[in-house]
Structures are given as C-alpha cells and as structure tokens.
Amino acid sequence: MQVTTLRAALAAGPSATAAAPGHVRTAWAALTARPAATAVLVPAFAMLVLGLWGLDRDSMWRDEGVTHQVATRSLPEIVRLLGSADAVHGLYYLLMHAVLSVHPGEVALRLPSVLAGAATAGLVAAIGVRLARPRVGLWAGLLYAATPLTGYYAQEGRSYALVAAGVTGATLLLVRAVRQGRVKDWCLYGAVVTATVLLHQLAALILLAHAVTLLLSWRRLDARAWRSWAVCGCAALTALLPLARLTLGQSEHAAWLAASDEGGSGSLLKAFAGPTELVLTATLLLACVSLNSPLERTGRLSLNAVAMPLMVLPPAVLLAVSQYTPLHHDRYLFFALAGAPLCAAAGAERIARGVRMMRSKAGRRTGGALFGAAVVGLAFCWQLPLHRDDRTAEQRPDDLGAVARLVEERIGQGDAMLYLPSAGRRTALAYPREFRNTNDIALARTAAASGTLYGEETGAGELRRRLADLEHVWLFAEPYAANAGWDPKSATEQAKLTVVNEEFLLREEFQTRSGVLRHFVRRPPEKPVGWPSA
C-alpha cells in the first residue's frame, strides 16, 4: 500500500505529494532536495545491485583463474613472476593480493570490479551533472548501468572495470581542474591518470582523448591550463616507461590477438550503444541529436567536447594500430564506453526541452527526470535476456569450474595427470582443492617456485622415464590440442603425445567446453610370433 501511494505521488508530481502521507512527503523531499546528489547516487546504487546479481557463477574462466592463482601467491613470488610474464597486470595483481588475502573466493575475486562498476556509473552521472544538469547526469549514469557490456565486466575478476573507473574519474577531475584552475586539482588529476595507466597501459589513450577535448575548447582555455595538463600527461607517461619497457619483452603473451577484421568496429559499436537493434538505433539517434544540437556550456568545457573524444578516439586509434600490430580487443577499450551514455543523455535532454512535457518549472524538471529514468528502465528490460545470460558461466570464453568438478569426480588418489599443453595446468592452479588427488607427472617446478604462470615441466627423456612404469594416466587437453593435427613445438609436449599414443589405449573420454579429459591405460604386451593361442 505504501509503495502504491508513493508511485501515485511520483506520477502526479509535487502537487499531489503535498497531500500525501508524511512518509511519502519525506521520501519525495529526499529525492528532490538535492537533485545533483540523487543523480549520482541512484545510478551508482543501481549498478551495485546489478553487479551483485548472480555474482557467484561457481566457475572461473581462464583469465580469472590466472588472477586468482597469481594474487594468492606471496608478494616476493608475484614480483618474481612479473619479471617474466604478465607485467601489464602487475599493479592489479598486487591490489588483488590484498583482497584475496582476506578471503580467496570467487565472490571476493569479482567484488572489486563490482564496486568499480558502481563507482563508474556514479562518475558518469557526475560528469553529466557538472557539464549539463542533474537529470542529464541521472540518465547518463543509468544508461551506463543498463548497458550489458558494463554488467559483463563488472562481474569479471580482471582489471577492466577498475581501469574504466580510473579513466572516468580522471575525466571528471579534468573538468574540475579546468574550471577551478587550482594546483591541487591538477595534481589529483595527474595522480589518477598515472595510477590508471599503470593499471593497464592502453589506458594511456585517455591522454589523447583529453588533448582533443582541450583543443575543442581552446578559445576558453588559457596557457596555464595547457601547461598543467602537459605536465600531468608527461608525468604519467614517464611513470609508465619502465613498465612499458618490461612488457615489450613479454609481447609473446599477446600473440593470441589477431588483426582486427572489418567487423571489429561494428561489434564495438553494438557493445557500446546497445547489442539489440532497437536500443542501438535509439542510442545512435540521440547521439546524432546531441551532435547537431549541442547543449550550452556550463563552464569552459562542453559535454560533447568531453564525451565524444572519450568515446571515439581510443577505439579508433587502437583499431587502426591493430591493422599492423594486433592489439585490439573490446576489453581493452571498455573504459571508452563512458562517453556513449553521456552523448545519448545530452540528446535526450535536447528532445525533452523541445517537448516540454510538464507545465510548471519544478514539475518539468522532476517529471522529465523520472520519465527519462523510466525509458532507461524499459531499455534494460528489453535487454534483460542478455543481462541474464551474462551471469552464467556459459557466456564466458571457457569454464574451468566444470573441468575441476569433473576431475574431482573421476580421478582417484595419486593418479598420474598430464596437461596438453602445459598451459592447461591453469585449471589445477585455479582449483587446487579439486586437483589435490592428482599426481602432476610432468611437473619439474611449481608455478610459484619457478616464477612462471603455469610451472616448469621436465625434459622429454625424464618424462618418458616417469611414464614407463605407469599402468594408466589421465590427460587433459585444451580444445586446440585435442585435435589430431596439432603439432607442438616443445619436445616435452611432443613426448606426451608420442608416449600416450604408442604405449597406451584410450579407455574413457569426457568432453567439456574448456577441453577434453581422457583416461588412458597401458597397452597389453604383444605376444611373440608363434605363441600358442588360448
């Protein structure tokens, strides 16, 4: 009854609220007394709820597994690893080490990304409030939270949601520093940019976007603003140089990336503006309205000058570079998504002003804000199946949890285990409890002890000796390694294939989305020629 009364009061506007019960008037007053704060907090809370929805999928995929097994090592072991692999994620691993030292579970693994997603939704709203008005910020923040791509990365144990929060926070600080012109504001901007590019190097593209933002507003800026921004940018890039030099020597770990095809930009556009055709069309139309009829400035920077470079330039540059050196993946550009809802909200604001839905000034402001929020809610409901699917393990590239449960169910105490290739050991490292009964027959030094991601394996000769006395062995092969035509370069990997195929027979096989688990038993000895038959 109380909820119905409140809804009726909200629909009728302030005049009806005046006659409503006291608790309804209190709720209405809380919503309207500080519209700027409400515009920021509502999207942040909505994103928090969406991020927590279905957070425990009971499975990690391979990149999350890497985060888990690296972050649960000791600090010296993490530092040692970064010298040879994955230095690009080094700061993130150190942050996650502190988180997982409290509780090393899958929910804790993803919780920082959930909080970062909620923070980013609030920061997007704050940019809209600062550059336009509260309801523009409210719509932009809610649009960001309702985008399926946002929920996808807000529920992933990787750094991309944190990078997006850093980029969006730096953008808001740029707006503030340009307006205020204080040294402390520029210092804070520089610190956030530096931390963000150290979290992921490709976030340095935000400096290019911010440079174009300033260029589009050059008539309103003085030399001091340019100098301050240049100092901050140079400081961030200088701090990034040692890390960039280290990761250049680890470029083989990005060999899986392929050159962007013609559909790369199209898929990215759908990911940013909306995967469904209806939402995509509406978002693009609103962005066109914003471009053709921009909102007036509320300070030195306009909303379009901030949002458009953020949304367009990082993807454009990375897609262009990837035609020569493969670097593109949607996850690396997730931080640029923040510009899309800002452009759409600005277009919606321009349309709302033309329509003039409500008569009174207060009613027009509040009623328009609620109507726009309701439209965003409809867009979310329209894409609800996508949100629901993203909260299942099937929507991730692979499912390590399914493999781990299969191993725990099928393999007995002390049974020998081979991984083909050695990177297939990632599942055992992510789920050590489920693999506790297995005997990793090819392992020479553990991942932590060797300072590698997946450990060091013994030589081909030693592996043959270890397999010589075994009556049966289990082998887990990644999907590509399970193909008969796969030709490994490593002598140890080749020895695994040769010995298993020549000396063992396949007894059982269990297919999973992440690979195939096979059980081999030793071939019976061949009878000598002339041996009497039974």
CATH number at residue 457: 3.40.50
pLDDT for position 22:
60
Q: Rounded CA gap, 278 and 283, in Å?
A: 9
Beta-bridged to residue 516, according to DSSP, are 477, 511
377 and 490 share one domain: no
408 and 382 share one domain: no
User: Is 155 contained in some domain?
Assistant: yes
Beta-bridged to residue 510, according to DSSP, are 517
Reading the block at residue 201, the tokens are 């190097």
User: Is 390 contained in some domain?
Assistant: yes
Domains of the chain: total = 2
Closest C-alpha among 198, 188, 168 to residue 310: 168
pLDDT for position 21:
59
Q: Rounded CA gap, 425 and 427, in Å?
A: 5
Q: Rounded CA gap, 71 and 526, in Å?
A: 50
138 and 63 share one domain: yes
131 and 244 share one domain: yes
Closest C-alpha among 298, 287, 387 to residue 342: 287
Strand 416-420 relative to strand 472-477: parallel, antiparallel, unpaired?
A: parallel
514 and 387 share one domain: no
The answer to whether the CB of 420 falls within 8 A of the CB of 496 is yes
pLDDT for position 26:
63
Q: Rounded CA gap, 271 and 332, in Å?
A: 13
3-state secondary structure 78-127: HHHHHCCCCHHHHHHHHHHHHHHCCCCCHHHHHHHHHHHHHHHHHHHHHH
The answer to whether the CB of 246 falls within 8 A of the CB of 87 is yes
Closest C-alpha among 298, 154, 300, 116 to residue 215: 300
User: Is 26 contained in some domain?
Assistant: no
Q: What are phi and psi of 418, to 5 degrees?
A: -120, 150
Q: Rounded CA gap, 516 and 219, in Å?
A: 63
How many distinct helices (H) and strands (E) make up the chain?
25, 7
351 and 407 share one domain: no
Domain final position from 373, 395, 417: 395
62 and 173 share one domain: yes
Reading the block at residue 103, the tokens are 């509780």
Q: How many CB atoms lie within 10 A of CB 232?
A: 25
The answer to whether the CB of 504 falls within 8 A of the CB of 473 is yes
Q: Rounded CA gap, 173 and 193, in Å?
A: 10
Closest C-alpha among 169, 165, 189, 168 to residue 177: 189
In angstroms, how far is the first alpha carbon of the chain from the final one?
87
SS3 content of the chain, % helix, strand, coil (to 5): 65, 5, 25
Reading the block at residue 283, the tokens are 């978002």
The answer to whether the CB of 113 falls within 8 A of the CB of 155 is yes
User: Is 529 contained in some domain?
Assistant: no
Domain final position from 395, 411, 433: 395
User: Is 1 contained in some domain?
Assistant: no
Reading the block at residue 164, the tokens are 């997006």
Q: How many CB atoms lie within 10 A of CB 251?
A: 9
Q: Rounded CA gap, 42 and 31, in Å?
A: 10
Interval 224-268: pLDDT, tens:
999 999 999 999 999 999 998 888 876 665 555 554 444 456 777
Structural domain boundaries, residue 435? 400-522
13: left (phi over 0), alpha (psi -120 to 50) or beta: left
Q: Rounded CA gap, 76 and 44, in Å?
A: 36
User: Is 22 contained in some domain?
Assistant: no
321 and 445 share one domain: no
Domain final position from 376, 395, 414: 395
Interval 264-290: pLDDT, tens:
567 778 888 888 888 888 888 998 998
The radius of gyration computed from the CA coordinates of the chain, to the nearest angstrom, equals: 28
To the nearest 10 degrees (0 to 180), the angle between helices 460-468 and 491-503 is 30
∠ CA 410-412-415, rounded to 5°? 110
371 and 443 share one domain: no
pLDDT for position 25:
58
User: Is 215 contained in some domain?
Assistant: yes
User: Is 4 contained in some domain?
Assistant: no
Helix (H) or strand (E) holding 517: strand 515-522
Helix (H) or strand (E) holding 386: helix 384-390
191 and 241 share one domain: yes
The answer to whether the CB of 515 falls within 8 A of the CB of 417 is no
pLDDT for position 485:
81
The answer to whether the CB of 204 falls within 8 A of the CB of 237 is yes
The answer to whether the CB of 440 falls within 8 A of the CB of 492 is no
Per-residue pLDDT of the chain (534 residues; tens, 9 = 90+): 443 443 444 444 444 445 555 665 565 565 566 889 999 999 999 999 999 999 998 899 999 999 999 999 999 999 999 988 888 899 999 999 999 999 889 999 999 999 999 999 999 999 999 999 999 999 999 999 999 999 999 999 999 999 999 999 999 999 999 999 899 999 999 999 999 999 999 999 999 999 999 999 888 888 899 999 999 999 999 999 999 888 887 666 555 555 444 445 677 788 888 888 888 888 889 989 988 888 888 888 999 999 999 999 999 998 888 888 777 678 899 999 999 999 999 999 988 887 764 444 544 455 678 888 888 999 899 999 999 999 999 999 999 999 999 999 999 888 999 999 999 999 999 999 999 989 999 999 999 999 999 999 999 999 999 999 899 999 999 998 888 788 888 899 999 999 999 999 999 999 999 999 999 999 987 766 555 554
Beta-bridged to residue 472, according to DSSP, are 521
Beta-bridged to residue 517, according to DSSP, are 476, 510
Mean pLDDT, the chain, integer: 87
105 and 127 share one domain: yes
The C-alpha torsion from 433 through 438 and 441 to 442, rounded to 10°, is -30
| Residue at token pair 């262009």 | 320
478 and 332 share one domain: no
Strand 443-445 relative to strand 456-457: parallel, antiparallel, unpaired?
A: antiparallel
